[in-house]
Amino acid sequence: MKKQDALQDPYIGDPMDRVDGRMKVTGAAKYAAEYELPNMVHAVLVTSTIAKGRIKSLDTKPAERASGVLAVISHLNSPKVPGFAQHDHPAEPPTGGQPLRVFYDDKVYSNGQPIAMVVADTFERALHAASLVKAQYTQDKHATDFDANVQKAFLPSQAQKNPDSHLADYVRGKKEAYKTGAIKIEAEYIQPTEVHNPMELQAIIAHWEAEDKLTVYDKTQAVKGTQRAFAKDWGIPVENVKVIATFVGGAFGNGLHTWPHETAAIIAAKKVNRPVKLMLTREQMFFMVGYRPHTWQKIGMSATADGKLTAISHEAIGQTSSYEEFTESTLQQTKMMYASPNVDTRYRILALDVSTPIWMRGPGEATGAFALESAMDEMAFALNLDPLEFRMRNHTDTDPDKKLPWSTKYLTECLQEGAKRIGWSKRQLKPGTLRDGEWQVGYGLGVGTFGANFRMAQATARLQSNGRVIIQSATTDIGPGTGTAMVQIAADELSVAPANITFQLGNSAFPHSPSQGGSSTISSVGSAVQAVCIALKQKLQETAVAKGHVAFQGAEPDKLLLQEGQLALSGSTAASVPLADLLNGQQELVLTAEAKPGDERKKFSMYSFSVHFVEVRVHSVTGVVRVNKIVSCADAGTIVNEKTAGNQMIGGAVGGIGMALMEHAVMDHRFGRYVTKDLAEYHVPVHADIPQIEVYFVNKPDPYTNPLGTKGIGEIALIGMAPAVANAVFNATGKRIRELPITPDKLM
Ligand code: MOS
């Protein structure tokens, strides 16, 4: 795609190919475990086989004697981690409680917890020696079964301390008003534990370059957060920790926290004084790097006979570990999505003898939307009303929770456009009406929303005298195409062709970026990239004026272009100066700028919205559910790259199908151990499960979210998909499945 004049024909919006696509598909892209360091050795973890108790003894002798073994490390001989002594051991981002202190003492908090580690000269020798380590335990009675322990659920301490917390009990209007409603429904919904299964396994290479200087190549979504956490752990200055995550092979949220294996590798590197590589097995991924927590929900809802909601009560209890209070925004959508005068929510967590959960794509909002959007469908059915029409009748033009106008909301457009594209008119009100041979056919929809986040971010621009531009920020790119979008943003702002712009990321030495989480990267880092491009042009303009090029005096940033090695001025007062003259003989001009949310953001309520439409076919004999067609519509503000954003939507839809039909980490409570712990047992969708997915973007800039007008896509791509499938299954069969995943046995 050739762009002559970026002012006329912007790069933003183009379906540009990924700048790193070729590197990824040819293997040139290096992921954490692929770095080779001189003298590097390998660590393999030994994990607990009980869910609760103490390590009575560890027999490490046979492992120590095995070939190639340099060390067997456990709580008995681990180098001390200074940060572990503080009660408030840092997690990034902070959760309540205290993250697991690996090899700290003899306590076992969950099955699969690291209890020892073998370091050897090769991976195979470390793996073999790890199998020789034998532990004896003093076992305590464990509690891993959610249902059996649900009465111990409690209000998160954050909400206990602060009644204004979003996790605190919430009442708008009257509490439990649905109970006296004209037409009412009441139902319970179960989201089972799901585990992030990105293609790339969690991995780290830890290297102490000096006594107090640490470099890690780490799989993380937050290089700055990881840097801060390790610096605090080891009591060393933040700048002494270097975190590299140039490529990340998917993460879905499990890279938003630092985990025990990371600290274990750093401990190993300290102990043997050599760089150490540690990669988890797929099985270990189920036990120590987070998961979407099992969550029970109950919704009561009432409406008038003409389809106006009168009340919603929504309760949720999510699982956490015994040592950390993981919480998420399961109930947020219920507070703001529909115009109901009475809404109350109640959120609790339940501590079990399991590892700590973490946000998994869509996070709590996806869990909450399963209940809310299923309940909306149940209510519409009770009213004998089309569920799309029911949502239209309960549309709200202001946020009833924050009592603020929306910055933008094109939900109605998403509903209408999606209905047209899926062929909603074919849908029958009466379930079980449509058939195609042995297949029952049904249609469903689910609405999603997620806050349009914007967090402070910085970017550095390095303009070379030849006109090339390098831009740096410490964000990561876990797959959405961040690097590509940033090049497009810079190309537009500078009028430099994308081929002459390089965006560098995934390095803690670069200026601040928030973690790549919560659908905030384009808005936050994109705004910083735009800001530094404007700053760069202004700096060049000042220099030009100072050098006597008066035509540049007072020129607006959007009239300034960098073209063919010149700073140029567009419009009637056309002028240009060679960049070389403006760099004062320097090789490059380096500038850093920052973007952060302003007060404007407080005047509006800012959310992205999505609507997912699905057509399903349910086999009347076997109960197999096939998703036949998907149309996902999104109001996410400006779409910077139609292709990568479209990929995000497709990926989210695929994740949503997994959530709806397959994903379930099944635990054997006799042992507190998952029995589904590889991709043969834990099912995720494969190509044969995925139909044509059509994506529609409203693509209207939001004037208030940030200078780019973006609102975020990553989460809304998935939020609302699972209930869309469940609602379609109901429409096809008349069977309402309130416990995910919707497996054939539930439809028989
Ligand atoms: Mo996302 S769950 O914020 O990686």
Ligand 1 pocket mutation pick from 359, 365, 453 by most atoms within 8 angstroms of CB: 359
Predicted pLDDT at 170: 98
How does pLDDT run across 474-488, given as a tens digit for each residue?
A: 999 999 999 999 999
Q: Which atom of ligand 1 is nearest to the CA of 253?
A: 4
Query: Is position 446 within any domain?
Result: yes
What residues flank ligand 1, with Cβ below 6 Å?
Answer: 221, 252-253, 256, 359-361, 363, 517-518
pLDDT above 80 for 96: no
CA distance 577 to 450: 46
Query: Is position 467 within any domain?
Result: yes
Question: If you measure from the C-alpha of residue 419 to the centroid of ligand 1, how many angstroms do you get, rounded to a whole number?
Answer: 29
CA dihedral 734, 300, 613, 662 (to 10 degrees): -70
- The CATH number of the domain holding residue 475 is 3.30.365.10
Mean pLDDT over each residue of the chain, to the nearest integer: 95
How does pLDDT run across 210-262, given as a tens digit for each residue?
A: 999 999 999 999 999 999 999 999 999 999 999 999 999 999 999 999 999 99
pLDDT above 50 for 8: no
Give the three-class secondary structure for 125.
helix
Query: Is position 663 within any domain?
Result: yes
Query: Is position 523 within any domain?
Result: yes
Determine what percent of the chain is predicted with pLDDT higher than 90. 93
Q: Which atom of ligand 1 is nearest to the CA of 478?
A: 4
Question: Is residue 415 domain-shared with residue 377, that is, in the same domain?
Answer: yes
Predicted pLDDT at 563: 85
Question: Is residue 579 domain-shared with residue 448, that is, in the same domain?
Answer: no
DSSP secondary structure letter of residue 247: B
Residues 6+ apart with CB under 8 A from 155: 167, 168, 169, 347, 348
Question: Is residue 660 domain-shared with residue 691, that is, in the same domain?
Answer: yes
Q: Which atom of ligand 1 is nearest to the CA of 254?
A: 4
Q: Which atom of ligand 1 is nearest to the CA of 255?
A: 4
Residue with tokens 């009465």: 151
Alpha carbon distances (Å) from 140 to 52, 108, 596: 5, 9, 49
Query: Is position 413 within any domain?
Result: yes
Question: If you measure from the C-alpha of residue 627 to the centroid of ligand 1, how many angstroms do you get, rounded to a whole number?
Answer: 25
Q: Angle at Cα 46 formed by Cα 357 and Cα 36, nearest 5°? A: 90
β-bridge mates for residue 110, sequence order: none
How does pLDDT run across 428-459, given as a tens digit for each residue?
A: 999 999 999 999 999 999 999 999 999 999 99
CA distance 677 to 666: 9
Question: Is residue 580 domain-shared with residue 604, that is, in the same domain?
Answer: no
Q: Which atom of ligand 1 is nearest to the CA of 252?
A: 4
Question: If you measure from the C-alpha of residue 359 to the centroid of ligand 1, how many angstroms do you get, rounded to a whole number?
Answer: 6
Ligand 1 pocket mutation pick from 194, 197, 256 by most atoms within 8 angstroms of CB: 256
CA distance 212 to 223: 19
User: In the annotation, is 564 catalytic?
Assistant: no
Q: What share of the chain is helix, strand, coil (3-state, %, to 5)?
A: 30, 30, 40
CA distance 556 to 559: 5
pLDDT above 70 for 197: yes
Question: If you measure from the C-alpha of residue 277 to the centroid of ligand 1, how many angstroms do you get, rounded to a whole number?
Answer: 26
Question: If you measure from the C-alpha of residue 221 to the centroid of ligand 1, how many angstroms do you get, rounded to a whole number?
Answer: 9
Question: Is residue 551 domain-shared with residue 661, that is, in the same domain?
Answer: no
Q: Which atom of ligand 1 is nearest to the CA of 359?
A: 2
Predicted pLDDT at 494: 95
pLDDT above 70 for 370: yes
Question: Is residue 675 domain-shared with residue 730, that is, in the same domain?
Answer: yes
CB neighbourhood size of 294 (10 A): 25
Question: If you measure from the C-alpha of residue 256 to the centroid of ligand 1, how many angstroms do you get, rounded to a whole number?
Answer: 7
Query: Is position 54 within any domain?
Result: no
Last residue of a domain, one of 564, 596, 628: 596
Predicted pLDDT at 152: 96
Last residue of a domain, one of 554, 581, 596: 596
Question: Is residue 387 domain-shared with residue 449, that is, in the same domain?
Answer: yes
Question: Is residue 673 domain-shared with residue 611, that is, in the same domain?
Answer: yes
Question: Is residue 397 domain-shared with residue 441, that is, in the same domain?
Answer: yes
The predicted model gives 715-722 an average pLDDT of 98
Q: Which residue's alpha carbon is nearest to atom 4 within ligand 1? A: 253
Query: Is position 525 within any domain?
Result: yes
Predicted pLDDT at 100: 94
Question: If you measure from the C-alpha of residue 567 to the centroid of ligand 1, how many angstroms do you get, rounded to a whole number?
Answer: 40
With helix as H, strand as E and coil as C, how does 169-219 read? CEEECCCCHHHHCCEEEEEEEEECCECCCCCCCCEEEEEEEECCEEEEEEC
Question: Is residue 520 domain-shared with residue 404, that is, in the same domain?
Answer: no
Q: Which atom of ligand 1 is nearest to the CA of 714?
A: 1
Q: Which residues of 719-731 are buried (b: 16+ CB within 10 A; e: fewer)?
A: bbbbbbbbbbbbb
Predicted pLDDT at 4: 42
Q: Which residue's alpha carbon is nearest to atom 3 within ligand 1? A: 517
Predicted pLDDT at 95: 64
Residue with tokens 């840097």: 227
- Choosing from 194, 328, 417, 715, the catalytic residue is 715
Ligand 1 pocket mutation pick from 92, 330, 361 by most atoms within 8 angstroms of CB: 361
Predicted pLDDT at 558: 87
Look up the ipTM and state it: 0.97
Question: Is residue 374 domain-shared with residue 422, that is, in the same domain?
Answer: yes
Q: Which of 4-18, 63-77, 120-134 shows the lowest per-residue confidence on average (mean pLDDT)?
A: 4-18
Last residue of a domain, one of 596, 615, 634: 596
Question: Is residue 604 domain-shared with residue 748, that is, in the same domain?
Answer: yes
Number of domains in the chain: 2
Question: If you measure from the C-alpha of residue 267 to the centroid of ligand 1, how many angstroms do you get, rounded to a whole number?
Answer: 28
Higher pLDDT residue, 213 or 557? 213
Alpha carbon distances (Å) from 290 to 255, 257, 280, 724: 9, 8, 13, 26
pLDDT above 80 for 86: no
CA distance 12 to 342: 42
Predicted pLDDT at 3: 41
Query: Is position 353 within any domain?
Result: no
Q: Which atom of ligand 1 is nearest to the CA of 518?
A: 3
Residue range of the domain that includes 576: 21-29+455-596
Question: If you measure from the C-alpha of residue 195 to the centroid of ligand 1, how many angstroms do you get, rounded to a whole number?
Answer: 13
Would you place residue 520 in the very low, low, confident or very high pLDDT band (cuts 50, 70, 90)?
very high
Question: If you measure from the C-alpha of residue 93 to the centroid of ligand 1, how many angstroms do you get, rounded to a whole number?
Answer: 12
- Helix-helix angle 223-234:260-272, to 10 degrees: 50
How does pLDDT run across 577-620, given as a tens digit for each residue?
A: 999 899 988 999 999 999 999 888 899 999 999 999 999 999 99
